[in-house]
Structure 1
Amino acid sequence: MQTPHSGYHWNGIDRDFFEGWYFRVTLPKIRGSFAFMYSIEDPLGERERSGGAVQMLGIDEQYLTHSFPDVNKFWPAKNDLGLGHWGETKLATSPQLLSVAEFDRQITAGYQVTATLHQGSLPAQNCRWCYHTMPIYGWGQPQQPQQATAGLLSYLPIFEPGWQILMAHGLATGWIEWRGQRYDFNNAPAYSEKNWGRSFPQKWFWVNCNSFDDTVGLAITAGGGRRKVLWTTEEVGMIGIHYRDRFYEFVPWNSQISWQIQPWGEWKIQARNLDFQVELIGTTAAPGTMVSTPTENGLVMCCRDTLKGLLSIDLRTHQGTQIIKASSNNAGLEVGGDGWDIAWLK
């Protein structure tokens, strides 16, 4: 189940570096979600912006953020998914993965996360969480070696930034205390991904959902961006669909992909390959919530998100045989970067 790029990417030398992780749990019964965004910037600790940050979107898309300025209290795993950042603690040991009970006793503020455990505490924001996750889909065909989201070239340092879906779908069980109210859940849809490099793309969009009204086990992630590739830029997009133990992949090296993304409120993405054709339509009437993303000048609020988007999918063969037709009102929809005064058509 482990995907490529699950481990930490920093080479120990480059100070112009960030790595970021995104984790989401959806609670369909209340049409609510929690999104956790972790980042570390300039790990050498030599700049004013060096350090870590936690951002969260919670119920009704309320936003909070907390900084962890000491880079020496951040720990990452190099070969698999694992990271954490300690804030207030009396422990004199080096930062590392702790048992759930020891973390609860010793770490007043901080977080730790692996592929199966996610725990944290932000007392200043009256927020705590602890849940375990059972991965269902990574990124690729189930029961086969998992794939790099950006393909084989992602192993070379040519894309800016790197991007990897870590877990397209999983089931989370535990609890989250959000500003005084506790939310217990059992087998709630969960998702995770990551980015790394020097900054986010110049412009991008993102669509994600793994909680559909009448279709169990369907997970979709789509995105596109204007990214740096060595000395130039390119516009690329992709759609990945996991359903009934099969992975449908639409990427630049095997498909034709087009999109019509409004500055806010509507996402339309189409793709076709030798065997299938798909259309995604996402909409929202909500204003969205601004969050920060890494740039060459540090974290900047240049990204608008909603976790309550409407999303429909129509996947069929070229002969017209329908494979999936489903909808959800629990989709994550996002636009970010510069140049959103007009629609982005490709």
Structure 2
Amino acid sequence: MKNPAFFRGTHRRSRYFEGWYFKCISADRKHALAFIPGMAVDPDGERHAFVQVIDAARGKTWYFRYPYAAFQAEKDRFSVAIADNAFSAEGLSVNLRDDVTIQGQLVFSNSKPYPVSRLNPSIMGPFYFIPFMECYHAIIHLTHDIRGMIELDGQVLDFTGGTGYIEKDYGRSFPRTYIWIQASHFDSSDASFVFSRARIPFMGSEFPGFFAYFSNFAGLSYRFATYNRAKLADWQVDQASGSCSGKLAGRSATLLFSAQMSGGGVLRAPIEGQMDREIVESIGAEVTVTLYDKQDNLLFAGTSSQAGMEISL
């Protein structure tokens, strides 16, 4: 079973993308950056590599485009290089120059990977094994510690003592409509929460599917998903205000959540391998999570700032 973090697009000739998402939050939470290295092949077979960057403090995003020849990826481990930029499970180094200069190196340690098994190799569960899905999603690190600095147009941003998150998407296109939330910085304790809901094309039709995962890294871990018969109730979403909320009911726990975007920047997303779609992502969203067991005993309650969030309807 190939690790979902590894590069998969070597033999893809058209209509394909692959990208990794690195979110980095400083210890004082004043700095929040996300780096998205990747590659794309359009319907005509034209390839290119890219690195996208989100700066939450400025509300800005940048798209650095490279010839595909600048893209390199290891076959048997998670290691990606694009020109002078390198990304792996152990850290990243960037030397990005255009109308902005972004340079620096971050080292990751004490990582907490998403738990996988042969039957559940990713958050997608059994859908991971279906060969014709539009988009595949994988969580690589739920959290890790960061050491290092990034210089952004002459301003030094210190990320030492901060925390990060890594995930990945690959396939043909992002879902036509979807919501995505990722939160790690809870006020009450160390925890991680990920949620996504999308319209999923399947054999000529489509259906609404969702997955969610919560862990406090101290004995509480719950997965809620369409494929494990969990239910999403009291669902509300408003793209105009950038808010959503819902109730996840599983076999052994119930999780209530609400999320509110704050600011955001425009990213490029794939449509049939073309990076032409524009989506708005915030990495300064506020997410509140409350978790109960089946006897209504409170297991966790907390609010996270600097959460990642996208609503595309």
Q: Could you say whether these structures have the same fold, taking a TM-score greater than 0.5 normalized by the shorter chain as the test?
A: yes
Matched-pair identity in %: 17
Shift, 1:261, TM fit? 1.5
Q: Is 1:320 the counterpart of 2:296 in the alignment? A: yes
Counterpart in 2 of 1:76? 73
Structure 2 unaligned spans of 5+: none
Q: What residue number does 1:261 align with?
A: 237
CA distance in structure 2 between the aligned counterparts of 1:211 and 1:194, rounded to whole angstroms:
20
- Tell me which of the two structures has the higher relative contact order, counting C-alpha pairs closer than 8 angstroms and 6 or more residues apart: 2
Q: Deviations over 1:68-100 (max 9, x none)?
A: 0x21221112232111111xxxxxxxxxxxxxx
Letter of the structure 1 residue corresponding to residue 303 of structure 2: S
Cα RMSD for the two superposed structures:
2.3
2-side partners of 1:44 and 1:174: how far apart? 39
Name the structure 2 match of 1:101: none
Q: Which residue of 2 aligns with 1:309?
A: 285
Q: Which has the larger share of strand?
A: 2
**Where do 5+ consecutive residues of structure 1 fail to align?**
87-109, 341-346
Q: Secondary structure at the match of 1:40?
A: strand
Structure 2 residue aligned with 1:107 = none
The CA distance in 1 between the partners of 2:227 and 2:204, in whole Å, is 21
Post-superposition Cα deviations, 1:243-281, rounded to whole Å, max 9, x if no partner, equal: 134421111122112432111421113211111000110
User: What SS does structure 1 have at the residue aligned with 2:58?
Assistant: helix
Task: Determine which of 273, 281, 294 is the counterpart of 2:258.
Answer: 281
Cα distance between partner residues in 2 of 1:157 and 1:227 = 14
The letter of the residue matching 2:41 is D
> Structure 1 length normalisation: TM-score?
0.82
Aligned residue identity for 1:172: I
Residues 40-51 of structure 1 aligned to structure 2 (within 5 Å): 40-42=39-41, 46-47=45-46, 50-51=47-48
> Residues 127 and 44 of structure 1: is their aligned pair in 2 closer, same or farther, counting only changes over 3 Å?
same
Which residue is equivalent to 2:58?
60
The aligned counterpart of 2:102 is: 127
2:193 equivalent in structure 1: 220
Q: Aligned runs of 1:1-346 on 2, under 5 Å?
A: 4-42=3-41, 46-47=45-46, 50-58=47-55, 59-68=57-66, 70-86=67-83, 110-124=84-98, 125-140=100-115, 147-215=121-189, 217-246=190-219, 247-254=221-228, 255-258=230-233, 259-264=235-240, 265-284=242-261, 286-296=262-272, 298-336=274-312, 340=313
Q: Is the 8 A contact 1:219 1:241 kept in 2?
A: yes
In 1: Cα distance, 2:150 partner to 2:90 partner: 16
Work out the CA distance in 2 between the residues paired with 1:245 and 1:45.
49
Counterpart CA distance in 1 for 2:27 and 2:186 is: 9
Q: Secondary structure at the match of 1:152?
A: helix
Contact 1:31 1:329 in 2 (8 A): no
CA contact under 8 A between 1:135 and 1:167: conserved in structure 2?
no
Distance 2:75 2:209 in 1: 28
- Mapped to 2, the partners of 1:199 and 1:260 lie a distance apart of 25
TM-score, length-scaled by structure 2: 0.90
- Relative to structure 1, the CA distance from residue 135 to residue 276 in structure 2 (aligned partners, 3 Å threshold; closer, same or farther) is same
Task: State the 1:46 CA deviation.
Answer: 4.0
* AA of the residue aligned to 2:59: E
In structure 2, relative to structure 1, the CA distance for the partners of 1:44 and 1:238 (3 Å cut) is closer
